Amino acid sequence: MTSAVPGTLAAFLCFFSLTVNVPGALAQEATGGQPAATAKPEKKVTEIKIGYLRAYAPQLALSVLDVPPRDEGVAGGNVAIADNNTTGSFLGQKFSLDVTEVKPDADVVAAFQDMIARGDRYVVADVSAKQLLSIADLARDNGVLIFNAGATDDSLREEQCRANIFHTIPTRSMLADGLAQYLIWKQWRRWVLIYGSHERDQLFAEALRRAAMRFGGEIVGEKLFEDAGTARRTDSGVVQIQRQMPVFTQDLPEHDVLLVADESEVFGTYVPFRTWTPRPVAGTAGLTPSAWHPASEQWGGTQIQNRFAKANGRRMMSKDMAAWTAVRILGEAATRTQGADPRKMADFIRSDDFSIAAFKGQKLTFRKWNQQLRQPIFLGDGRSVVSTSPQEGFLHQVSELDTLGVDEPETKCVLE
């Protein structure tokens, strides 16, 4: 009997110890074996939703190789989202891209209102100038920043400029100036101009005329190519073009370069190697100016091209780069302002502290007078980059990039 007492006492003490420590044991189990007092609080994540408003319809081109990819622009935005999230994961920021498509001639107001309702406070826009202007004031009233990655119209940066719209795609005047600088550098000063009958063609033709006056080129002759609405890609059409284009260019005055303004893809591709007089062709055909070139490999271009190709199975186009740049600008602004306040981010983007690296040989900034992104212009053919403007010798008191497009003393923009 007496020997049983110590055993009973030991069992009771063991039971009491386990009962007392049950809450602590359960707490350790719930926190993965760590004491509850040392469990780290869950990290707060700031979500930054970026809308992408795109006017899209399948397009024809004179060459099947020139038909725009189905995801042009959007693909660049998605690559930039991945880039932003790489950095954002360390800073408690998460970026997403919300894509909305409309028809090229559609009213975009309702679609834009839906984007606002979904919480998009930053929108990358690839729409026409008319569509962009239709939502500009609505965006301002709702505190939404728009990044224009598609419309090259100078009017959006001048007479119709808005304080809540930034432009990452270059203007027609920037493209024309970049081309003109190279032709002047080559001492090819005498130009003839063939332009199409559609509004876009005539706007680019006007940009080429302005560039000639600005840099000392001389347009010695012009000719309008009317769109007759005939089939663009047929065997008989190619034969007819081979016969017709030499006759169409036969009466042009003596010149060094033939300039083409055919944004509408009606005749431009048919001009090189078919003119009456053998001369270089430039503009929307031949040597073309652009925001980016699929063959660009300088200044780290290989890095972005490889990442883009791995993600999308193709090379990067100009709209891809414009959209990538817009989304990366937002990523940089969110990082530097440590938040997602549109007003603070806009102020930072306009400030002297802002710049963005975009694989173009130098850091890019926005022009304060019209919120156009300063950037070099690539000049290339279908295979390679021939040159990059601004060209050597074209100087400016602030930035050589301001020799491309409308400079501050020329601007008609009043931001509001």
Q: What is the CATH number of the domain that holds 139?
A: 3.40.50.2300
**The pLDDT of residue 195 is above 80:** yes
Region of 229 please: left (phi>0), alpha (psi -120 to 50) or beta: left
Last residue of a domain, one of 290, 318, 352: 290
360 occurs within a structural domain: yes
Say what the pLDDT of residue 38 is: 56
Q: Are residues 206 and 154 in the same domain?
A: no
Is pTM beyond 0.85? Reply is yes
Residue 280, amino acid: P
- Tell whether 222 and 356 lie within a shared domain: no
- Residue 410 lies inside a defined structural domain of this protein: no
Nearest CA among 54, 81, 78, 82 for reference residue 68: 54
Which pLDDT band, with edges at 50, 70 and 90, does 59 fall under? confident
pLDDT beyond 60 at 27: no
Q: Are 166 and 314 in the same domain? A: yes
- The domain of 125 spans 46-170+292-375
Strand partners for 166:
147
Q: What is the pLDDT of residue 237?
A: 57
> Is the residue at 18 inside a domain?
no
Q: How confident is the model at residue 242 (pLDDT cuts 50, 70, 90)?
A: confident
The answer to whether residue 392 is domain-embedded is: no
* Residue at 28 is within a domain: no
Residue tagged 């005939």 (tokens):
230
> Are 178 and 152 within one domain?
no
Looking at the structure, do residues 157 and 205 belong to the same domain, yes or no? no
Buried b vs exposed e over 31-50: b needs ≥16 C-beta within 10 Å? eeeeeeeeeeeeeeeeebbb
**Residue 70 clears pLDDT 90, i.e. is over it:** yes
Q: Beta partners for 281? A: 258
Span 152-174, pLDDT tens digits: 999 999 999 999 999 999 999 99
Asked which of 259, 290, 321 is the last residue of a domain, the reply is 290
- The answer to whether residues 180 and 133 belong to one domain is no
The tally of domains found in the chain comes to 2
Domain end call among 290, 322, 338 = 290
State which amino acid sits at residue 154.
Answer: D
81 and 130, same domain (yes or no): yes
pLDDT band at 398 (very low <50, low <70, confident <90, very high): very high
For residues 235 and 132, membership in a common domain is answered with no
